[in-house]
Amino acid sequence: MGILNVTPDSFSDGGRFLEKEKAVNRALRMKEAGAAIVDIGGESTRPGASPVSEQEEISRVIPVIEEVASRGIPVSCDTSKPGVAREALRRGAVMINDVRGFSDPEMREGAAGYNAAVCVMHMKGTPRSMQSGPRYENLLSEIREYLHRQASLCREAGIPREEIFIDPGVGFGKTLEHNLELIANADFFTVRHPVLMGVSRKSFIGMISGLHPRDRLGGSVASACWLALKGVDILRVHDVKETVEALKVIKEIRKRRNE
């Protein structure tokens, strides 16, 4: 899954793809590089980010979604607003990626009405507050229980189990140690639903390497390879070409291992 932020303030590429033509060209390049789906978002969810209005988010993403979908590229819309989700699905999106875990019944009903796939993500708090001392009694169990509970609500709304992906939400209300524990134990989440995870260029890589988001390619690809080996089904990344190349090598190596 290629990441396409149509925002002025996303942590890694904010402002780079605000213009429709640039955004569409970016999506085309990601598809050529091997992305199976492009995730388009119009509201930054980086730590401390301020929300934008529904109308503003629609004006940012819908023209891009419509054009990208018309080029035959499967599109996911990264949103937590029912109005944005409905409009995105109406204009060609096939998936909704909700950082708020489909806690709003309208989000679940809208996705079911369009036969869309969904990604249910875990976030502790809101983007503005989520990094203010997050604590867990049992990190893995608490997050998996939340994801399964929200996934059950999606099934009750009429979304098939196989169309419900879960994401433990690396970087969303987690410390460095929390993030590393989630990544190290990603297979803990693969029991009941397919798993989607996004770790590309995130702050935990910067905490380890000391590098700026745009310089975190090595850490991002290393993390992606680990997650693939742990059975994660979809990797949400900025650097599609490099990640795809690495995964091809991993795949060939795995074919030749002795069980």
User: Does 239 have pLDDT greater than 70?
Assistant: yes
- Residue 15 is predicted with a pLDDT of 59
User: Does 55 have pLDDT greater than 90?
Assistant: yes
Q: In this predicted structure, which of 24-38, 192-206, 245-259 has the lowest mean pLDDT?
A: 245-259
- CA-nearest of 214, 222, 215 to 243 is 222
Domain definitions of the chain by residue range: 2-198
- Residue 50 is predicted with a pLDDT of 74
What SS3 string covers 163-219?
HEEEECCCCCCCCHHHHHHHHHCHHHHCCCCCEEEECCCCHHHHHHHCCCHHHCHHH
Backbone dihedral angles phi then psi of residue 3, each to the nearest 5 degrees: -95, 125
Cβ pair 23, 38 in contact under 8 A: no
Q: What would the mean pLDDT of 236-243 be, rounded to a whole number?
A: 98
- Residue 64 is predicted with a pLDDT of 97
Q: What would the mean pLDDT of 191-207 be, rounded to a whole number?
A: 96
pLDDT bracket for residue 14 (50, 70, 90): low
Helix (H) or strand (E) holding 39: strand 38-41
Per the model's pLDDT, the better-predicted residue between 102 and 11 turns out to be 102
Q: In this predicted structure, which of 3-17, 134-148, 168-182 has the lowest mean pLDDT?
A: 3-17
User: Does 18 have pLDDT greater than 60?
Assistant: yes
Cβ pair 27, 4 in contact under 8 A: yes
CATH superfamily label, 2-198:
Dihydropteroate synthase-like (3.20.20.20)
Q: What would the mean pLDDT of 37-48 be, rounded to a whole number?
A: 88
State the residue for tokens 């996004």: 198
User: Does 178 have pLDDT greater than 60?
Assistant: yes
CA torsion 16-22-27-32 (nearest 10°) is -110
pLDDT bracket for residue 169 (50, 70, 90): very high
Q: 95-122: per-residue pLDDT in tens?
A: 999 999 999 999 999 999 999 999 999 9
Question: What residues are labeled active site?
Answer: 202, 236
User: Does 27 have pLDDT greater than 70?
Assistant: yes
User: Does 187 have pLDDT greater than 70?
Assistant: yes
Can you say whether the dihedral through the CA atoms of 173, 45, 47, 2 is positive or negative? positive
How many whole angstroms separate alpha carbon 108 and alpha carbon 130?
23
Angle at 122 between CA 35 and CA 178, to 5 degrees: 95
